[in-house]
Amino acid sequence: MEGIGALGKRMREAGFTQVELADAINTHLRADGHEGTVSDRTVRNWLTGETRWPHERQRAALEAVFNCPVTELGFIPRRVSLPHAPPEDSVHRRRFIATSAAAALAATNTPVFASQKRFGMSDVERLQTKFAALIATDFRYGGRRTIETQAVELAEEALTIQNHGTATQRVRGALYGCAASFTSSAMWAAIDGRRFDAAQRHFHRASSLAAMSNDSTIQFRIWSHAGSLYRHMNRPADALAANDVARSLPITRRDSMFACLGHARQAAIHGMTNDSHAVQQTLGHAQDAFERADTTELRPVWMTAVCDRAELETLALSAHLSLGDFEKSEAHAHRSLSLLRPAMQRDRGIVTARLALAQLGQGELESAVNSAVSIPGDIARHPRVGILLREFGELLHVAAPSSQPARSWDEHAGESQKGIS
């Protein structure tokens, strides 16, 4: 069964199904002026070994598709007896082919089957492994220029593969999806770092790549990030419009977890417009969608940070804090902190800073300062956390400028918050 394994392995690497390989073979046959008669059953016969030596035209097409001799695909030539005196035209034909091949090799000095590399799903998986490591760094710190730069480099690597090799339509779509996903991560890193001009450039690039991938999953991420971008830029109308695009994509109907995230982010935007009814309504939709979602379903690596109840609580906290409902904000903050995974250090810092603001809004000065000073120094220097803490310090001095909690905060800020920008 060596032949079966060799062809099957090459098909898996290239991302071919039996039908797709048959289509690719027929395309080559028709390009050479022949009728394309290969079917998925033909391919199945090759895989099972029922057909051990395809027709000459099919062999040529197989070599063109996989860029290697058919013997490397496991096919075994038939043993045939050559006549003692082949016809003169056959002799001339073989001499012409041999001479032409030798001349071509001499001119190019390149192996016959090494002219162009075929890329497959294994290359996509290699890129996704690099992406997973980048996402893990983003979960912990976020916003760093190094994350943004590395994400852009990964996107360029995916596009370079497109331009320097051949692949099936499915693999090409996956590579465009990778490039879009990586660019979306660069966009998020720029949003997180408050580099909004760069974030908008990444958004336009990512949305174009996502359209070429025809993957509504990554399109959801990009448009949902656009909603977050405009929310941070204090442009709620644009934020609502962008998030509506995300919520209308097919993935939200196929997977309730995406619907949950879309509704919860919409609630955070409604909080900015002081629409308490819309906040309650969209949070209710988010809760219903979360309860319908299959939490064990396999999803993209970037969804692992947001497909849990902690994210729902965090967005509810943001919405109620914008509304000035400090009691509900504090309750959501405590629930979020109890649910956040240990690696989510950046998110923990943001939630704790918002908790301090919610406690301050209720007049609980000492608890508020205790919450604020509990944020580790490296996390306090994160741009988004730093902005929240500066807001906290300003509000604290308005509420109780000469109080002991205010003096304690000033002392802490002077010692450990240097360098926040």
Residues, the chain, total? 421
Mutual orientation of helices 326-339 and 345-361 as an angle, nearest 10°? Answer: 160
Q: CB of 243 within 8 A of CB of 269? A: yes
Q: For residues 28 and 150, give the distance between their C-alpha atoms in angstroms, rounded to a whole number.
A: 39
Q: How far is CA 253 from CA 228, 257, 266, 382, in A?
A: 21, 10, 17, 35
Amino acid 139: pLDDT: 58
CB within 8 Å of 160: residues ≥ 6 apart:
none
pLDDT above 80: residue 363: yes
Reported as a pLDDT band with limits 50, 70 and 90, residue 4 is: low
Residue 165, SS3 per DSSP? strand
Just give the CATH number of 1-76: 1.10.260
Comparing CA positions, the residue from 364, 292, 373, 283 lying closest to residue 319 is 283
Residue 368, SS3 per DSSP? helix
Q: For residues 71 and 81, give the distance between their C-alpha atoms in angstroms, rounded to a whole number.
A: 20
CATH fold of 308-421 reads: 1.25.40
Does the pTM exceed 0.75? no
Amino acid 85: pLDDT: 45
Reported as a pLDDT band with limits 50, 70 and 90, residue 286 is: very high
Q: For residues 419 and 238, give the distance between their C-alpha atoms in angstroms, rounded to a whole number.
A: 32
Q: For residues 88 and 72, give the distance between their C-alpha atoms in angstroms, rounded to a whole number.
A: 32
pLDDT tens-digit series, residues 41-89:
888 888 888 888 888 888 888 877 777 788 888 888 876 444 444 444 5
The token pair at 162 is 């497109």
SS3 content of the chain, % helix, strand, coil (to 5): 75, 0, 25
Rounded average pLDDT over 213-226: 93
Q: For residues 62 and 100, give the distance between their C-alpha atoms in angstroms, rounded to a whole number.
A: 21
Helices (H) and strands (E) in the chain, counts: 21, 2
Q: CB of 148 within 8 A of CB of 193? A: yes
Average pLDDT, the chain: 84
Q: What is the DSSP letter of 234?
A: T
Amino acid 251: pLDDT: 95
